[in-house]
Amino acid sequence: MSHIAFMAVPAHGHVNPGLGLVAELVARGHRVSYATTADFAPQVRESGADPVLYSSVLPSAARQEEWPAEQAAAVGLFVDEMIGVHRQLAASFAEDVPDLVLHDIAAMQAPVLAAQWGVPAVTVSPTHVAFEGLEETLGVDDGEAMRAVHARAEEFFAEQGVEMTFAAANTPRRCIVTIPRSFQYRPDTVGPQYEFVGPMLTDRAFQGAWQAPDERPVLLISMGSAYTDRPELYRACLEAFGGSRWRVVLVIGRAVDPAELGEVPENVELHPWVPQLDVLSKATAFITHAGMGGATEGMCFGVPMVAIPQAADQFANAARIAELGLGAQLPAERATPQALRETLEEVVGDPATAAECVAMREEIRRAGGVRRAVEIVEEELG
């Protein structure tokens, strides 16, 4: 039985995409130790892995609104996380070194530890990977503040006796990519080390279930877990869809007090959080912030989307949703009640959008998913 260490930053968009792979590796007889925080220990245990707990400097699941908006500050936070977590995991695994490190693309301590242990590392990317024109398309910051962050990371690598640049730490030798290949920007320019297996969803029974109370078509509205402090947008949604033909499931996170939003129409449910896969399996439409986790989950269920990006890579994801005909993009500053209604009805009433959603769902089915991902991991172990 092989021992695999899985490492991911403690955020839903980085933990959830790999849980299906973890569960299948355990089912095939491998022992998986999953480095995580207490927030994510329940889902790690449900996957069959053994949680290896550590303390994180990143905003917790209950404080996601604290993520910095500036790129250099956000990347700097990941570097702080790498340094602090490396120290903890080096101690935790000292007497139980794994045979392979499997890690989320943002868990930068993982390639450092793998190099020090002399074991192979395989990366899991839940988002776009390196392609020609990445800097312009995704708006990558290469200013002085970002260069200082890179220098701090490289100083740490040197202290650890690892010959590695910041670019090398973020350029995997082999990578399992959990988005559909056609959703990747410029897939023809992507290196052969990136294998697009598509989403690896699990049933996530630990999240519970959701039942529609009536026969109305279901509209899920969610701005994800990190940028949920949007009371003005939620009020616009209540005005747009209150009293309409929709059963509206509106997820407002924990940063907004429901009392701020005023009277809630009878066809609208307010939730701080929902079992999103269960709701999407019953949904007719999805208004999303276009985080990659939510976007790929919408694609898996063939649900047309209205993307209202808030920050980071969401703008590029929203543009890709519109470009591929999977829905429409609506800038947050233009998300008035009238614009929300009109855009949603255009999307759900468009036969071309419906056809593209079906085609994407079929591409995901053919990509190999968790079966192919397990093969990649076992090839590395072999």
Domains of the chain (ranges, CATH numbers): 3-198+367-381 (3.40.50.2000), 205-365 (3.40.50.2000)
Q: Provide CB contacts within 8 A for 207, sequence distance 6+.
A: 275, 276, 277, 278
Q: What is the pLDDT of residue 203?
A: 61
Is 233 in a helix, a strand, or coil? Answer: helix
Vertex 66 angle, CA 61 and 69, to 5°? 125
Token pair of 187, please? 């897939």
How far apart, in whole angstroms, are the C-alpha atoms of residue 248 and residue 254? 18
What is the residue-level pLDDT of the chain in tens, covering all 382 positions? 899 999 999 988 889 899 999 999 999 999 999 999 999 999 999 999 999 999 998 876 556 556 666 788 888 899 999 999 999 999 999 999 999 999 999 999 999 999 999 999 999 999 999 888 777 776 666 788 989 999 999 999 999 999 999 988 888 999 999 999 999 999 999 989 999 999 987 665 556 678 888 889 999 999 887 777 788 999 999 999 999 999 999 998 887 888 888 899 999 999 988 888 899 999 999 999 999 989 999 999 999 999 999 877 899 999 999 999 999 999 999 999 999 999 999 999 999 999 999 999 999 999 999 999 999 999 999 8
Q: What is the pLDDT of residue 283?
A: 95
Token pair of 134, please? 């990445």
Give the global pTM.
0.87
Q: What is the pLDDT of residue 209?
A: 79
Is 173 in a helix, a strand, or coil? Answer: coil
Q: What is the pLDDT of residue 273?
A: 85
